[in-house]
Chains A and B, each alone.
Chain A
Amino acid sequence: AQSVTQPDIHITVSEGASLELRCNYSYGATPYLFWYVQSPGQGLQLLLKYFSGDTLVQGIKGFEAEFKRSQSSFNLRKPSVHWSDAAEYFCAVGPPDVPAGNKLTFGGGTRVLVKP
């Protein structure tokens, strides 16, 4: 069965510092990969996704993620964090079928706190 692990439950980062969130997955084949962000009291918003091709993908809000097949990882990065980036971040995988993203499996989430 597929699974997604986000090893860091909480991360605290200073404003302006870089951020990296880890995501490892277990899947029979290369799945479709996603990162979502959830602000307090809100639903989830898609940050970026990887289906195929270039393993470095760019998303919204200045985020990027790199797919590493050999490590079964899809880590999320941002070079300079803003206070508004404080939120919970979820990595997800889905079967490589159309429609992509069907029946997603989510990681447990990483809560990011931003210090002034």
Chain B
Amino acid sequence: DAGITQSPRHKVTETGTPVTLRCHQTENHRYMYWYRQDPGHGLRLIHYSYGVKDTDKGEVSDGYSVSRSKTEDFLLTLESATSSQTSVYFCATQGVSRGSGSDQYFGAGTRLSVL
């Protein structure tokens, strides 16, 4: 398994507070992703990074920001948490390979509850 650590694993917070989730990888993978998982929706891409300081928006980026100052760390920030952001958040990483490409590896997830 790829060395992906998400922290915290569980968090309960109040509406309007800022929240930062961390994803740390030890695989030196170039690409990193943040997804949210909600019942019936599968996983939806929030933001992704294709290198240090290089990020882009995914399908459901409103209300979220990201930063990647080092290869190994990808932070997801909810500037002002809302109840609609209650979800399970997954980080994924992906290396670069020639030909048919490389796989995405997923962390164990962070369960966030916004009250």
Contact = CB atoms under 8 A, between A and B. Distances in A.
Given A99-B31, A106-B44, A108-B40, A43 B101 contact: no
B16 to A, nearest CB: 29
Contacts of A107: 42
Interface of A: 4, 6, 9, 32, 36, 41-46, 49, 51-52, 90, 92, 98-109
Given A43-B106, A45-B106, A99 B97 contact: yes
Contact of A100 (B4, B90, B92, B100): B100
Interface in B59-101: 59, 90, 92, 94-101
B107 A101 contact: no
Given A101-B101, A101-B104, A106 B42 contact: yes
The 3 closest A-B pairs by CB, nearest first: A100-B101, A106-B42, A43-B106
B41 to A, nearest CB: 6
Interface of B: 4, 31, 40-45, 48, 58-59, 90, 92, 94-104, 106-109
B94 A102 contact: yes
Given A99-B96, A100-B101, A103-B48, A109 B42 contact: yes
A100 B102 contact: yes
Nearest to B41: A108
- Interface residues of chain B: helix, strand, loop or mixed (majority): loop
Given A46-B104, A99-B94, 10 more contacts: A6-B42, A42-B108, A44-B90, A98-B101, A101-B103, A105-B45, A106-B42, A106-B43, A106-B44, A107-B42
- Interface residues of chain A: helix, strand, loop or mixed (majority): loop
Given A42-B108, A102-B94, A90 B43 contact: yes
A51 B17 CA distance: 43
A43 B42 contact: no
B101 to A, nearest CB: 2
Contact of A90 (B42, B94, B107): B42
Contacts of A4: 42
Given A43-B109, A99-B94, A51 B100 contact: yes
